[in-house]
Amino acid sequence: MPITRDAIRRAVNEEDIEGLIRMGSPSDEYEAEINKIGGDPRLQAQDLTQDQVTIVVKDVWQEMFGPFPEEELLSRKPAIDRVAQKIMDNK
């Protein structure tokens, strides 16, 4: 079953990795990132795994908000993992 933009949107907005929504940004704050994640051809794999989704989310986050030093990326890893899990759970 393909991953929907709605599943990605819910996961990204619920996790709010950068805390922008909690700080009062509009609910569409991460729309560019959601579209990049959803448009990534790696997500079209037949036997898509959570690890593959995690890599896509991490790569998009690095592109849009980074580059992060290793320690900052590691501090975001639990939230990125949760986003990938939620995407997989709701696809």
For residue 10, give the amino acid letter: R
The pTM of this model reads 0.94
- pLDDT at site 8: 98
- pLDDT digits over 50-77, tens only? 999 999 999 999 999 999 999 999 999 9
- Residues 54, 88: Cα–Cα separation, whole Å: 10
Encode 39-74 in three state secondary structure: HCHHHHCCCCCHHHHHHHHHHHHHHHHCCCCHHHHH
Band of pLDDT at residue 89, cut at 50, 70 and 90: very high
91, 16 contact by CB (below 8 A): no
- Residues 29, 75: Cα–Cα separation, whole Å: 21
- pLDDT digits over 16-44, tens only? 999 999 999 999 999 999 999 999 999 99
Domain locations in the chain as residue ranges: 5-90
